[in-house]
Amino acid sequence: MARQDTIEKRLNFRVSEPVNDNAARKFAALHDTALLTDLGNIALQKICAEFTDFFKSKILQVKNFTAIPTEKGSLSNDYAILAASQMTGGKAVLASNFAHKSIQQSCQKQKLDLIEIPCDAEYGYAVSARHFAEAIRLNADKVGVIVITIGVTAHGKLSDLPIAEVQEYVLKQRAMGRNIWLHVDAAFGYMEILRTRNASIRHLMQHADSWTVNPHKWFGPKGLSLVGFKDGKLPKLSDQKYFAGANTIFGSSQSGYAIAAAWHILRRPGSVYKLERTAKQVHANAHKLAAIFTNNGFKLLCTPETRILAVDLSHSELSGNKSCRILGEHLKNAFMAIGVDMDICDIDGHHSLRFTLNPVPKKLFHEKLRAMENILGSLFVQKNILVDNISYLAQREAANDAVHDATDAKRPAA
């Protein structure tokens, strides 16, 4: 008991700060070997029940759902699509082309047709109400499942499908007695319920048959996702009594550590307020980061609505995909050298830098922001300097390629 008290005192988990890894590992010793499938572990089952009840009522603000802990959002989406397939008789799944890749993978596993609606750049890379209505009109007899994403990881849009129209269509179909399943993939964007007090998202999730959220995207150690099922919609599998366990096609039993650590954070007084404040601060940081790019002539793929920012590398002073790629690699290397993490991706034919903003102390964020602004400013110290810089970088890249080719040519054949 004394040892446990000591560990508790050393834990310094904060909603708005990174978890202390050493303390987390010691905390794990209390829960890591415990399995969520062990219904005889009363203490762990109590933690699961308290955490999921608190999360549903205080953060998601939904009722009449059973929440099942899993290890990651892809697994949660797997379970939801499996349940939807059972309930709808294997009908097609309708989603946008920016839905998470796990939706496509789940459809392949369940041998379900996936109908993708392309997102329109004119609407900020989301599906317009008109295009959604057209897709429904053409596929109404085939579709049994609709997947809407809250928090699009590709570019930071709040949702990929129109929230009001999706909800209206689903409710009308249910009123007519038609069996249609609504899955809300809010693994990344669930915090918008707190940040914006967005009632439309909360209502959407309340009317859903299933949803996915990843608590670890905002607090606690990695390895905790929740899949929620409306009461009476929890699917039954032949080889297990409980989703998280017993070597199924989805994986092996899950440790209780992640949910125990997350509950250790969330049960503290004021945790929901801290989460809300942190989400607002991160969103404000995304807009500040966006400003330094737009001030230097870059365009955003869409206005940042979550904590993801996607910057189009097609600049007015550049032409050609090669120039964009060279510029992207240069900026990526320069930003990573000052500790800024991002990736380069192709979004609907646009070579882009994508940033995922995490909670950091204000002073550290503004130090990095100034450093990034200096890096961008160095490209524009005089007119047309960007073109000159890209030409120099291209020449350097060509020279490096020539050196590598010459080195490869000298190597003896295997």
Contacts of 167 (CB under 8 A, 6+ apart): 182, 200, 203, 204, 207
Question: For the segment 127-144, what is each residue's pLDDT rounded down to a tens digit?
Answer: 999 999 999 999 989 999
pLDDT at 11: 39
pLDDT at 12: 38
Selected from 1.10.1060.10, 2.60.40.10, 3.40.190.10, 3.40.640.10, the CATH number assigned to the domain covering 2-269 reads: 3.40.640.10
Give span(s): CATH 3.90.1150.170, the chain: 272-405
What's the sign of the alpha-carbon dihedral 395, 396, 398, 399? positive
Instruction: Say which CATH architecture domain 272-405 belongs to.
Output: Alpha-Beta Complex (3.90)
Q: Which of 156, 128, 155, 157 is nearest to 346 (CA)?
A: 155
Q: Is 212 helix (H, G, I), strand (E, B) or coil?
A: strand
pLDDT at 39: 67
pLDDT at 65: 94
Question: For the segment 78-103, what is each residue's pLDDT rounded down to a tens digit?
Answer: 889 988 988 888 789 999 999 999 99
pLDDT at 160: 93
pLDDT means per 10 residues in the chain (414 residues)?
A: 41 44 62 70 86 94 90 89 87 93 92 92 85 93 94 90 95 92 94 86 94 90 89 64 40 70 87 90 93 90 89 71 75 89 81 87 90 85 51 52 51 51
106, 259 in Cβ contact below 8 A?
no
Give span(s): CATH 3.40.640.10, the chain: 2-269
pLDDT at 304: 87
Q: Is 156 helix (H, G, I), strand (E, B) or coil?
A: coil
DSSP classification of residue 121: G
Q: Which of 351, 337, 331 is nearest to 289 (CA)?
A: 331
What is the DSSP track for 37-93? T-TT-HHHHHHHHHHHHHIIIIII---SEEEEEESSHHHHHHHHHHHHHHHHTS-EE
Q: Answer yes or no: pTM beyond 0.85.
A: no
Q: In what order do the strands lie in the sheet with 350-356?
A: 299-300, 308-312, 350-356, 343-347
Buried b (16+ CB within 10 A) or exposed e, 379-408: bbeeeeebeebbeeeeeeeeeeeeeeeeee
Give the C-alpha separation, 344 to 23, whole Å.
34
